[in-house]
Amino acid sequence: MQGQNKLASFETTILPHLDAAYNLARWLTRNDADAEDVVQEAYLRAFRFFGGFHGDDGRAWLLGIVRNTSYTWMQQNRSAQLNTPLDDELPEVGSDDMNPEAQLLQKADAQMLRQAVEELPLEFREVLVLRELDEMSYKQIAVVADLPLGTVMSRLARARKRLQQILTGHTQTEVLS
């Protein structure tokens, strides 16, 4: 693939997945600035090795690179920042018809869910984010995470179970308070 053709093909195949790449990096690193660094490095790697891409699922290929770049970055930069919670919130599914109390409860639920997902171990958090937020198939997750399909299914089931336990624990704690 020559220069101009490579750039044009990269832009149409890989560039549209920038939001998904950032979303995955943010959930893995738990930090907005670190996620930006990881995505920038991942896109550089993707461009460098784009000539070797012969598949039809550019999103899965790119997210695999983002995942690997995130893990490499975390190995090299373990710091207190990795435990810093995100400042932004999950997107709210709201209604203009909701009263202030219902809106407050919805915001509290979204905050509790975001915190519960952040409490998950990394290997559970990544498959849950890829499936539930990025809406990837099990097969696509297996490609991204470089795991057998059975392992993806097992981790996802365990992640959901652990998330349920965390959320139940938060709810019981709040009721007892």
The CATH number that applies at residue 53 is 1.10.1740.10
Please tell me the predicted confidence (pLDDT) of residue 177.
Answer: 53
Q: Which of 81, 115, 143 is a domain's end point? A: 81
Please tell me the predicted confidence (pLDDT) of residue 115.
Answer: 87
Please tell me the predicted confidence (pLDDT) of residue 62.
Answer: 94
Q: How many domains does the chain have?
A: 2
- Beta-strand ranges (E) seen in 32-172 are none
pTM for this entry? 0.70
Asked if residues 82 and 29 have their Cβ atoms less than 8 Å apart, the reply is: yes
Please tell me the predicted confidence (pLDDT) of residue 168.
Answer: 87
Inside any domain, residue 90: no
Please tell me the predicted confidence (pLDDT) of residue 88.
Answer: 37
Q: What are phi and psi of 91, to 5 degrees?
A: -60, 135
Inside any domain, residue 131: yes
d(CA 166, CA 83): 17
Please tell me the predicted confidence (pLDDT) of residue 56.
Answer: 80
Please tell me the predicted confidence (pLDDT) of residue 171.
Answer: 59
Question: Is the same domain home to 123 and 153?
Answer: yes
Question: Is the same domain home to 74 and 107?
Answer: no
Task: Give the torsion sign (CA, 8, 14, 18, 19).
Answer: positive
Inside any domain, residue 87: no
Inside any domain, residue 64: yes
**By three-state DSSP, how is residue 73 classified?**
helix
Q: Which of 20, 54, 81 is a domain's end point? A: 81
How many C-beta neighbours within 10 Å does residue 42 have? 25
Cα–Cα distances in angstroms (integers) from residue 128 to residues 84, 105, 134, 148, 157, in the given order: 20, 24, 9, 16, 9
Can you give the residue range of the structural domain that contains 115? 98-177
Per-residue pLDDT 10s for the chain (177 aa) are 566 788 888 999 999 999 999 999 999 998 899 999 999 999 999 999 998 888 788 999 999 999 999 999 998 885 543 444 433 344 444 445 567 777 767 777 778 888 888 889 999 999 999 998 889 999 999 999 999 999 999 999 999 999 999 988 865 655 555
